Amino acid sequence: MGESRSSLRRGFRVIAVLAAFSLVAAACGSSSSSSSSGGSSTSGSVANTASAPGITPTSILLGSHQPLTGPAAPGYSEIGPAIEAFFQYVNAHGGIYGRSVTFKYLDDGYNPANTVQVVRKLVLQDNVYAILGGLGTPTHTAVVDFLNQNKVPDIFVASGCNCWNEPKVHPYTYGWQPDYIIEGKVLGAYIKDHFAGMKVGVLYQNDDFGGGGLIGIKQMLPASQIVSAQPYDPTTLTNGLGTQVAALQAAGAQVVVLFTIPAATALALLSMAVLGYHPTTVSSSVSSDPTTLAGLVSNFSKGKVGASALNGLYTLNYLPMSSATSDPWMQLFLKIHSQYDSKEPVDGNMVYGMSMAYYFTLAMRAAGQNPTRQDLINAINSQGATWTGPGLAPLGYSATQHLGFMGSEVVQLNASGGATAVSPVYVTNVQGPVTTHASVEGPVPSWLQ
Amino acid sequence: MRNFWNFLLIGVSNGLVYSLVALGIVLIYRSTRVINFALAAMATFSTFIAASLIDRNVPYFVAFLAAIVFGFLLGAATERFVMRPVESKSPLNAVIVAIGMLIFLEAMAGVIWGAKLRNFPSHFSLIGLKIGGARLAISNFDLFIVTVVVVLLLALLVLFRYTKLGLMMRASAFAPEVARLLGVRVGRMLTLGWGLACAAGAVAGLLAAPKVFLFPNNMDGVLIFGFTAAIIGGLDSPVGALVGGLLTGVALSFIGGYLGSDLENVGAFVILVVVLMARPEGIFSSMSARRV
Amino acid sequence: MEESMVEAKPEPKQLPAAKQPQGLRRLFGQPLVRNIIVGVVALVLFYLLIGHLSQYRIYQLSQVGPYLIALVGLSVLTGQNGQISLGHGALMAIGAWTLTLMQLHTKSPLWLMLIASALVTMVFGALLGLVAARLRGPYLAGATLALALGLPDITTRYQSVFGGYQGLEVNQPNAPSFLGATATPTEWLAIIEMICVVVVMILFANLLRSRVGRKFRAVRDDEIATQVSGISVPRTQVLAFALSAAAAGLGGGLFALVSGNVSPGGYTVVLSISLLAAMVIGGSGTLAGAVWGSLIMVYVPGWATTLSQKLSLNQSVSANLALAIYGFLLVAIIMVAPVGVQGIVRLVIFKMRNLRKEPG
């Protein structure tokens, strides 16, 4: 794909000239290098065509459903803007094959009935090329069949449900973040390695997220070690989590595993502080964005307890921590944030959105200059497992497996909101054994600099 | 046994907040026969005001008072300019207007302050008190809530029972025509009633926020359980609001603790039906049995 | 349909026609016959209409039907019988899961599943009606609201049966061959819905004109007088609740088909509240009001979104602004039109008739 970038021939259609012009301009504007920046350069001999719905010679239209209003909006409403900001940065650096990406994300309020509506609008009326990062298990479940029946690429669902990894039933749907069962297995493996013999209690949300986590943990630990598993209903968080935490305390759990959304994590930590209960606390990656949590728990006791309520909390990490300012990816993301996303906070949701947009950009570049929808699917199936970037664990994409990150590392939070890695990267899939590896985080490619 | 006491205390501490919301609902129902669903949004809005002030280094109690005053003004303005024209038409219309206000105010909170989860300071420690070597699920902050609820109820009692203003408010609520003939400015009394009720709602918002956090929809769940509490207690009775709130909080806590938190919502329905089958207008209803 | 809807307004006066017209005129003068004719014409027009619409527009239109049918039920209960329900979203859920579970476990034909949705929900509605008959005004509103809150949790409590938060998949029926090879499931569903709408409208229009309808209104207007005149108030109320629930259940069944899935997140308190708001704004107690209400439920949020997106704010602000506009419209419409959209329409028609009469 590394053709020379300025061999414009006569006879090109006007539109191709324009595309190439903008590309050259972008190349001059950036710190141009002579590297093979394949995907972002128009080929010398072939013009950009409108090769698929949502693709024109100069643009790519993507859609998504996100909770921007309602009870699920806090936190998650930052993901859409982060994805959009990353694409704006890519567009300013030549786009993808000279095409600029438009990311249209609509509010579904985390209500599946609304999701059905907005996704039909995106597919049938706006004619998007693909759906990227549709957020939530119950919401996305409502549209996954529609998308597959219409052969619309349904890329990187923003949920760790095991249900996206069903290539036979849903060949157009791909997971991205670590499967909840995998997260449970990784946490279980860590507990087995470091807290052997200690009594374990689990606090989990009573849906696919908490349920999946519990399945994973039970795969790794003997049944006798798990002394109590307390579900909670996310719709009754108004009542707090005091009763569940009191029950875990009464069962004598020395290690408490949290499969909780961030608000519930904060409530659980609050209840632990209230009851003077100080178990070793271990949580899923979903539960514990340190930036969000530190803000929530800082006032438990007139600010005196402060972020130390988080101190010592173990959690999972498959992308750079938003506090890791020395990480080259975080440096890129912070640069993008200051240019295009400065209204939103710098936290795990931002890292999540930008990383997802990066991997999608890789997929589009691999799909070729004039991709059909099937080309994108083929590219992910054949090359997806080899892509590297901000992710610490390898991706599990193949024709028979649509699993995203296959594991994560365990980190421990400190009082200042930072974190230190305390394990190598645990890698597994849903059924197989858990192994440890070094991080596969890759360098920032030159076409992004 | 320790579980039992903790469940009870957790229930009481949740229930007190429901009592406050119920009180806000009851005060408005008494004076204008309207169920004010917008109370949740008014409470949230007031709490956001307090949070913004605290962010600007205004002392906690000054911000607390400012939010209550804001709640009062918001409630009074709502009655005067939004509810007054529809109150007389049909109670259903007033309910829909209140729902419209709820949606509008919550969305505006999202526009102004963003859909973010943020904490709200409690001033008093949330850490459980140590009694006999173990920490129990009751903190200094819970004691503060108890104090606020008791003071508020006593103040209302004094207002309605022993002051001329209170008498005029009661007269305006129960016999507006007669009151008007006697020279009471009924409209002004109703505005005052709404103001007081929404101030109580603001207090509920301020006291709930440290435990449910602050975001545009943070009081939705509290409102529904508070409404349940008001109905259980009887929509005419401030004491009923207190009892209803405590009953709801404790019952839900026991249901959540012993049966599972996924039955809390169903539990609220069952409790409501059981109470209403015995007392169709709530435990403390002052009205006689229904007319037919 | 307009004519039959206007006929159904709550005034109990225009009952037996004073003059008895002859022959064909007489046949056409029969409300039932006239309603059926109007219904069939509406159906044909609708079929011709969807031939000219895009798939998305048809889909959007097919969202109106379930709401419309549920709103007819709610309107009869609240507007005609005076019982407030904040739990019709839960009744829709019962219909939706009935259809879904039947589709999953049996090989029933579609019509049977739809009828079952209505009947199962009717039984629940009758039980709820027994409770409701003892309650008045806000107490009934509170009890039904608690139902709307609690019922969805049953689906997560018994995940293996009801599918938990993720819910269950619903297959959309394929169009029958007589519609032509190109007819899509979306189009077929729109037609099925229109048939259901027409049938429900005709049934309820006649019900409201009948003795039962008069009983409903009598109970609403004066319970004591009704009881004195020998009509059982509680029995009438239970009947109203059951019939209203049947409509909500059918609406729920259709909603499941349109959505292609059922999950508790789609049947929260928010749905129940939206239904009540739409019913009042459309015009409480009238069938035409249900039409306006359902159109508002489907189209106004979209317009509000388009409007707020014109301001080129960031998406999160614009989504909240769209919601704010919707809330503002609820307040504004009630203030401007206390008897709902249908009240305005009726006023306009009335004025136009008067204008026509004056010159002559």
The pLDDT value recorded for residue C7 is: 41
Q: How confident is the model at residue C339 (pLDDT cuts 50, 70, 90)?
A: confident
Is pLDDT at A119 greater than 80 in this prediction? yes
Q: Is the pLDDT of residue A24 over 50?
A: no
| Each residue's pLDDT tens digit, C314-333 | 777 888 999 999 999 999 99
> What pLDDT is recorded for position B291?
41
What's the rounded Cα separation, in Å, for the pair C275 and C267?
A: 11
pLDDT at A303: 43
In angstroms, what separates the C-alpha of B201 from chain A's closest C-alpha? 16
Position C9 pLDDT exceeds 60: no
Which two three-digit tokens encode residue C8? 């159904």
Contact C139 B280 (CB under 8 A): yes
The tens digit of pLDDT for each residue in C166-204 reads 899 999 888 887 777 778 888 899 999 999 999 999 999
By CB atoms closer than 10 A (0-12, 13-18, 19+), residue B177 is exposed
CB pairs under 8 A between A and B: 145
Neighbouring chains of C at 3+ CB pairs under 8 Å are A, B
R_g (Cα) of chain A, nearest Å:
22
Report pLDDT digits (tens) over B98-120. 999 999 999 999 999 988 888 88
Q: In chain B, where are the structural domains located?
A: 2-125+134-278
Tell me, yes or no, if B55 comes closer than 8 A to chain A by beta carbon.
no
> H or E stretch including A308?
none
> What is the complex's ipTM, to 2 decimals?
0.90
**What one-letter code names the amino acid at A363?**
A
Q: Mean of the per-residue pLDDT values for chain A? A: 86
Interacting residues of C32 by C-beta distance below 8 A, sequence separation 6+: C202, C206
Would the pLDDT of B290 be above 60? no
Residue A178, classed as helix, strand or coil, is: coil
Structure confidence by residue, pLDDT tens digits, C275-291:
999 999 999 889 999 99
Pairing mode, strands A419-427 and A407-413: antiparallel
Q: Does A112 touch chain C (CB under 8 A)?
A: yes
CA distance C350 to chain A (A): 38
Domains of chain A with bracketed CATH = 14-178+324-405 (3.40.50.2300), 180-317+409-437 (3.40.50.2300)
Answer yes or no: is pLDDT of C97 > 90: yes
What's the CA gap between C61 and C71, in Å, rounded? 16
Would you list the DSSP string of A318-344? SS--TT-TTSHHHHHHHHHHHHH-TTS
In chain A, % of residues over pLDDT 70: 87
Q: Report CB contact under 8 Å: A69, B265.
A: no
Question: In sequence order, what are the beta bridge partners of A407?
Answer: A427
Copy the structure tokens of residue C146. Answer: 């608690």
Q: What is the nearest CA distance from A345 to chain C, expressed in angstroms?
A: 13
- The tens digit of pLDDT for each residue in C27-69 reads 666 778 888 888 888 888 888 888 888 889 999 999 999 999 9
Q: What is the pLDDT of residues A351-389, one digit of tens each?
A: 999 999 999 999 999 999 999 999 999 999 999 999 999
What number of helices (H) and strands (E) belong to chain A? 13, 14
Asked whether the beta carbons of B213 and B119 are under 8 A apart, the reply is yes
Report the largest interatomic distance among the alpha carbons of chain C, rounded to a whole angstrom: 71
Rounded to a whole number of angstroms, the distance between the first and last alpha carbons of chain B is 47
**Residue A437: beta bridge partners?**
A425
- Give the pLDDT score at A176: 95
Residue B287 pLDDT level (bands cut at 50, 70, 90): low
Q: How confident is the model at residue A300 (pLDDT cuts 50, 70, 90)?
A: low
Question: C281 touching B, CB under 8 A?
Answer: yes
- Cβ neighbours, 10 Å, residue A286: 25
Residue B288 at interface with chain C, using a CB cutoff of 8 Å: no
- Minimal-distance CA residue of chain C relative to A69: C320
Structure confidence at residue A94 as a pLDDT band (50, 70, 90): very high
**Are residues B291 and C224 in contact, defined by beta-carbon separation less than 8 angstroms?**
yes
Cα angle for residues B37, B39, B45 (degrees, 5° grid): 130
Chain A positions touching C152 (Cβ under 8 A) are 235
Q: What is the CATH number of domain B2-125+134-278?
A: 1.10.3470
Q: Is the pLDDT of residue B288 over 80?
A: no
More confident residue, B32 or A404: A404
Q: Which of A208-212, A276-280, A285-289 has the least mean pLDDT?
A: A285-289
∠ CA A110-A114-A119, nearest 5°, is: 105
Tell me phi and psi for residue C74, to 5 degrees. Answer: -65, -40
- Model pLDDT for residues B179-234, shown as the tens digit of each residue: 999 888 988 999 999 999 999 999 999 999 988 889 999 999 999 999 999 999 99
Residues C208-267 pLDDT 10s = 999 999 999 999 999 899 999 889 999 999 999 999 999 999 999 999 999 999 999 999
**Percentage with pLDDT > 90 across chain B:** 61
What count of other Cβ atoms lies within 10 Å of the Cβ of residue C356? 9
Q: Which residue has the tokens 């009151």?
A: B179
Q: Six-digit token pair at B235? A: 């929509």
The 10s digit of each residue's pLDDT in B123-182 is 888 888 887 777 788 888 889 999 999 999 999 989 988 999 999 988 888 888 899 998
Q: Are A202 and A214 contacting, i.e. CB atoms less than 8 angstroms apart?
A: yes
pLDDT at C359: 58
Q: Is C4 left (phi over 0), alpha (psi -120 to 50) or beta?
A: alpha
